[in-house]
Amino acid sequence: MKIGVGISRDGPDDWESAARFAAEAERLGVDSLWVAETWAFDGATPIAYLAARTERVRLGTSILQIGARTPALTAMTALALASMTGDRFVLGLGLSNPQIMEAWHGATFDQPVRRTRELIEVIRLITSRERLEYEGRIHHLPVTEGRRSMRSAVPPRHIPIYIASVGPANLRLTGQLADGWIGNCFVTDTGREAFLDPLRAGAESAGRTLDDLELQVPVTLEFDDDIEAVTKRHAVGFAFTFGAMGDPGRNFYVEAFARQGFEAVREVERLWLDGKRAEAEDLVPVQIAEQTNLLGTEETVRDRLRTYRDLGIDSLRVGLRGEDTRERLEQLERLMALVSEVNEEPVGAASR
């Protein structure tokens, strides 16, 4: 099993601490570093900075927001970062949510699966240096009839594309087209049917198998001897996700957990939207926190690593807790020791 981590720094403008963190994470054996994109800094620019301070580790976006850029700009950005990193760059893409797309970017949030497909197809045309002639439902290139088509002015190269998908249709699309999957909301007890089965179906429809994708699951790490307290603390944090990160009846996170047997999240959403936030927080099932993260003692975390390994998950993208980068790196070092132990254990073939 491989470990990726989100990039960390000691202050909003302290990029030197981010560079130190990246270099030390690389030394500890981390496979990949990931930069988020929400409504603060963009997700691509920091990778160019970190590329000059690292040598081996892969550098990825998690995620660039689909619809925030034209397909050509996304491809150009990816090509530049692949060049600057010596092909260590991974293009992580995701739909984000209606609130961010419509309130922040001023872009209509519609036809999400179609937008994802067309973006990937146009990016692949550009990065393979084919003429950019594309007739989709959303994108028409060239946009003006009679305009001469163009091709990229830089040599072709393969850019690994990972998709953060949670809905069944988008999961099937990920299986068909992507190089990797970023599996938010994956519950280890029930995620196989809800997530891996649609991914597999999509892959097989394109003559592929699930082994053609890297399966990456984001988790949060927190060591704590009081397992009950730490899981409850993390469960409470999900109330914001269920109540605020989408529109009523249009929250992808609510639907993803409901499909995995947690129907209570619909009531959590309702309570949050009604202003009853304390009640909403208390209602979040603690099993959600327990089965989507690495929480508790070293033995508990070690068992969780085995669970992901046995499900066939290739890598975990770990969110680290701590007051500063020093504390987060200490947590990472403890985790990497456990990962090394688990990876050395004799096991049968992983079951996907």
The token pair that represents 5 in the structure block: 């981590």
Is 271's pLDDT higher than 90?
A: yes
Within a 10 A sphere around the Cβ of 178, how many other Cβ atoms?
A: 26
Nearest to 33 by CA among 9, 66, 16, 8: 8
For residue 97, the SS3 value is coil
CA distance 70 to 66: 9
Is 78's pLDDT higher than 60?
A: yes
Is 248's pLDDT higher than 90?
A: no
**Cα-Cα-Cα-Cα dihedral sign, residues 224, 215, 2, 158:** negative
Looking up tokens 């947690």 gives 262
Within a 10 A sphere around the Cβ of 244, how many other Cβ atoms?
A: 14
Is 48's pLDDT higher than 60?
A: yes
Return the beta strands (E) in 155-293 as ranges: 161-164, 180-182, 214-223
Q: Are 237 and 245 in contact (CB under 8 A)?
A: no
Q: Say what the pTM is.
A: 0.95
The pLDDT of residue 250: 82
Mean pLDDT calculated for residue range 259-285: 97
For residue 131, the SS3 value is coil
CA distance 332 to 31: 12
The pLDDT of residue 348: 64
The pLDDT of residue 324: 96
CA distance 4 to 305: 13
**DSSP string covering 267-282, please?**
HHHHHHHTT-HHHHHH
CA distance 199 to 172: 5
Measured in degrees and rounded to the nearest 5, phi and psi for residue 5 equal: -135, 150
Confidence category of residue 349, pLDDT binned at 50, 70, 90:
low
Mean pLDDT calculated for residue range 165-185: 97
Q: State how far the alpha carbon of 234 is from the alpha carbons of 98, 146, 225, 294, in Å.
A: 25, 56, 15, 11
Confidence category of residue 196, pLDDT binned at 50, 70, 90:
very high
CA distance 102 to 22: 33
Reported as a single tens digit per residue, the pLDDT across 227-245 is: 999 999 999 999 999 998 8
**DSSP string covering 308-326, please?**
HHHHT--EEEEEEPSSSHH
CA distance 226 to 327: 19
Half-sphere exposure of 189 (CA within 13 A, CB side): 10
Average pLDDT, the chain: 96
Mean pLDDT calculated for residue range 142-152: 96
Is 214's pLDDT higher than 60?
A: yes
Reported as a single tens digit per residue, the pLDDT across 84-129 is: 999 999 999 999 988 899 999 999 999 999 999 999 999 999 999 9
Give, to the nearest 10 degrees, the angle between helix 168-177 and helix 197-205: 40
The pLDDT of residue 351: 61
